[in-house]
A and B are shown apart, each in its own frame.
Chain A
């Protein structure tokens, strides 16, 4: 049985890192309902694993491992189909003059990442989240040498996907 203090600590940490969980959900699902289901599943898995978190690694590293494990192998997808982001699912930015343009760029980025294979998506996510190769290795279990190669390839694929989508529009 976990104590209420432990629960409060856990909730505070998850609240602080919820943005990371939402980003994982956005990259591995498209429908709002699926996104909510995955978010819920990740929080449940984090809570189940919480008693064994002893702080040997950073909380964010531990969180990314669980979130990616849940997204990649934990949930079976019902259907593989590409659905472009709808307005309500667009990433939000603070009100500025170029807000619309930024949101459009982000929409293109999300759509382009979703066309990558699952593992490349994880590599790109960690790059965008500014994780260094050591942290990426710790999360994914891929050697830094292989990660560098994968990263270059994933960025190339991503560029191609973005270009294809721009020309397509």
Chain B
């Protein structure tokens, strides 16, 4: 079969039936990967706002307000999360340009998606040492304060040893979380990024 003959036939095809009334489609939600990622981000934000909101109110009011410093710490962490969500949202908005040329859209997706995964990995790993520091400096002294004990070192453990144990555990956990996050990010986006890169290579070939 000659390609030119097939081209003629191609142009004589009658259009297939369209799934449904076109107007009805306009109100539907996009199921593209970026739209889904944006929806997931919104769900995460809502969960953080609700859980942090409840925790902050609890620490402001419980124990006759003796733990209100914790409420301020949670408020600060909540604000850090808002910055984190804003950054992710900005990256997602920059990730696609559907009316751009196919090559430029692919290139943009690869660049921004790689930035997004790096940020995901960095934020997911950095949270461990930050949480450890926060627990050591704020959470544990506060709970000991509430329980009536003001000593950091108990049961004969020296201060230096306690620091070393915390530090060792933090380093181990951070390394473990780094690899766990790396695996997770690769599982979530690795194949998609590779596929996009392959198509970009096809365009340049």
Which residues from chain A sit less than 8 Å from chain B, CB to CB? 7, 11, 14-15, 18-19, 22, 26, 36-37, 39-41, 43-45, 47-49, 52-53, 62, 65-66, 68-70, 72-76, 89, 91-94, 102, 105-106, 108-109, 117-120, 122, 127-130, 138-142, 146, 150, 155, 158-159, 162, 166
Instruction: Please tell me if the beta carbons of A45 and B22 are within 8 angstroms of each other in the complex.
Output: no
1/0 per residue, CB under 8 A from A, across B97-126: the answer is 011111111100100000000000000000
Q: Which residues of A contact B34 (CB under 8 A)?
A: 74
Partner of A141, one of B1, B9, B31, B102: B102
Instruction: Please tell me if the beta carbons of A92 and B14 are within 8 angstroms of each other in the complex.
Output: yes
Q: Which residues of A contact B16 (CB under 8 A)?
A: 22, 26, 89, 91-92
Q: How many residues of B contact A (CB 8 A)?
A: 43
The answer to whether A102 and B9 touch (CB under 8 A), given A73-B105, A94-B14, A140-B103, is yes
Partner of B98, one of A48, A117, A159, A166: A48
Q: What residue of chain A has the Cβ atom nearest to residue B26's Cβ?
A: A47
Q: Which residues of A contact B22 (CB under 8 A)?
A: 11, 14-15, 18, 43
Bound: A109/B28 CA distance, A: 33
Contact count A vs B, C-beta below 8 Å: 151
Instruction: Please tell me if the beta carbons of A44 and B26 are within 8 angstroms of each other in the complex.
Output: yes
Q: Which of B55-63, B85-93, B196-204 contacts A (4 or more CB under 8 A)?
A: B196-204
For the complex, would chain A's binding face be called helix, strand, loop or mixed by DSSP majority? Answer: helix
Return B86 CB to nearest CB of chain A, in Å. Answer: 22
Instruction: Please tell me if the beta carbons of B101 and A138 are within 8 angstroms of each other in the complex.
Output: yes
Given A40-B28, A45-B98, A106-B6, 19 more A-B residue pairs with CB atoms under 8 Å apart are A11-B23, A15-B22, A19-B13, A40-B31, A44-B30, A53-B99, A68-B102, A73-B105, A73-B196, A74-B33, A74-B96, A105-B6, A119-B203, A122-B102, A130-B7, A140-B101, A140-B102, A140-B203, A141-B100
Instruction: Please tell me if the beta carbons of B101 and A65 are within 8 angstroms of each other in the complex.
Output: yes
Q: What residue of chain B has the Cβ atom nearest to residue A62's Cβ?
A: B99
Which residues in chain B, 1-34, are within 8 Å of chain A measured between CB atoms?
1, 3, 6-7, 9-16, 18-19, 22-23, 25-26, 28-34
